[in-house]
Amino acid sequence: MVFTASPSPLMQSNSSFAPSSSSRFSFSTTPSYCAFPPRRIATPRTGPSPAQAQAQAQAKEAKLWGGRFKEGVTDAVERFTESISFDKQLYKQDIKGSRAHASMLAHQGLISESDRDSILEGLEKIERRIENGEFSWRADREDVHMNIEAALTDMIGEPAKKLHTARSRNDQVQTDFRLWCRDAIDGILVSMKQLQVSLLTLALRNEGLIVPGYTHLQRAQPVLLQHLLLAYVEEIERDAGRLVDCRARMNFCPLGACALAGTGLPIDRFMTSEALGFTAPLRNSIDAVSDRDFVLEFLSANAITAVHLSRLGEEWVLWASEEFGFITPSDSVSTGSSIMPQKKNPDPMELVRGKSARVIGDLVTLLTLCKGLPHAYNRDLQEDKEPVFDSVKTILGMLEVSAEFALNISFNLERIQKALPAGHLDATTLADYLVNKGVPFRTSHDIAGKSVALCTLKNCQLLDLSLDELRSINPVFEEDVYDFLGVENAIQKFVSYGSTGSACVASQIEYWMKKLEME
């Protein structure tokens, strides 16, 4: 049998994939309606001559590190290696570190006080120009450090060339990055507290509201809504604690470690460390420039926070569905459908759930980046900035919109009340009743289970069973059993520390109001 087919675009463009004349298959040369037009073969472009390349290289600004090089880098290399497009975010920290370094150099007699003053004045002008949008960031100056130093040299001349004394870009970037991460943590902690306040405000608005508690996404026991909301407040508090711990460990100064081995010049690393608000200088100069564990810990803390927020988002997305109907988001935090006019979607919390993947991915990127690097500094580490910037921006957005959403939802009391009877949420409380009567828990569990089975057969609630029906299962039951049945009674029977009992939850509310300064 012979099959006839039109040639694929791949076969048209690459003869090495075409069948030979001896093939069992023959291909028609008539193009089908979906065939691509023949590809034009472009004439290869020739690069500049050696003389032209040398002239182009000489026309570029000489690199600050270019003393031993006869040629400049190509445009492709320059584009590929620049980091100014993203690390210019570090300008405040870079200028702050340079101020501290210049002051230390003058104190140690490595530069004159006059040079120090010129440097400090020039840095102040550059900072103002950046903040006013008047600073020209140049890709040929590679990164934020070289841009600022080159601009300072253009501005004040020779004194600027002394600023890099006893300093490498390796320790400089580490210092800038630690300062930036430290500032970012402070900002995230503020947003975390704002979300906690929003959740506690929502809890205060819904005092006494009982909702079904779930395990395995199956109805389990009744809980106070306040208790559930405070669970998220507790999780965020631990998230904040991880960031506080991370901040304490990252708050050590790399400045003065230079490239990796330190310096033979008489610098005072303790002076610069104190000026920048660090706890102390890092003890080992190789460790100071080569490790990024402070970033990994930061991104790990962010990832855990993102997972907590994603779970909150998932719960509220479910509760806003027609199937649950427990909450109604206001129009101000909802979106509609482009085709279905009836839709009202809790999109912000869906995106909170979705964006958690980005934050987790940023952590995985950094872990993968660092796993195979030898000591000390390697250029691969230039790639550590963007995932961190993305993680911080994303987690701040997630925290902000979650707080906003919490303040713009209402709980549908009637729907929740109708939902509460389903699932025999008081069965465990019934077992506790039996334990109080001296029945071993495993036996109590069995008796309560048989009681639920009878309810299922009769299509009723435990509270609806007569005393005779309960005694038919086990004679231990007395009239006081009805004080334990029904979700309202069940809630009142929880007395253990940290439980959903009304008194315990009231104590939790009081604790968090004091801690969050809401009184």
Q: Which residues are catalytic?
A: 216, 337
**Distance in angstroms (rounded) separating the CA atoms of residues 191 and 306:** 13
Judged by DSSP in three states, 398 sits in helix
| 444 strand-pairing partners | none
**Distance in angstroms (rounded) separating the CA atoms of residues 24 and 135:** 69
Judged by DSSP in three states, 56 sits in helix
The backbone torsions φ and ψ at residue 311, rounded to the nearest 5 degrees and listed phi first, read -65, -40
Cβ proximity of 446 and 467 under 8 Å: no
Q: Taking CA 211 as the corner, what is the angle to CA 209 and CA 214, rounded to the nearest 5 degrees?
A: 155
**Distance in angstroms (rounded) separating the CA atoms of residues 362 and 393:** 12
Q: Under 8 Å CB-to-CB from 444, ≥6 apart: which residues?
A: 431, 432, 434, 435
**What is the residue-wise DSSP string for 231-299?**
HHHHHHHHHHHHHHHHHHHH-EE-TT-TTTT--SS---HHHHHHHTT-SEE-S-HHHHHH--HHHHHHH
Name which of 487, 486, 406, 459 is nearest 194 in CA terms: 406
**What is the residue-wise DSSP string for 169-230?**
HHHHHHHHHHHHHHHHHHHHHHHHHHHHHHHHHHHHHTTT-EEEEEETTEEEEEEEHHHHHH
Question: Residue 188: left if φ>0, alpha if ψ -120 to 50, beta else—which one?
Answer: alpha
Following CA atoms 152, 153, 155, 160 in sequence, which dihedral angle do they give, to the nearest 10 degrees? Answer: 70
**What number of residues does the chain have?**
519
Cβ proximity of 169 and 83 under 8 Å: no
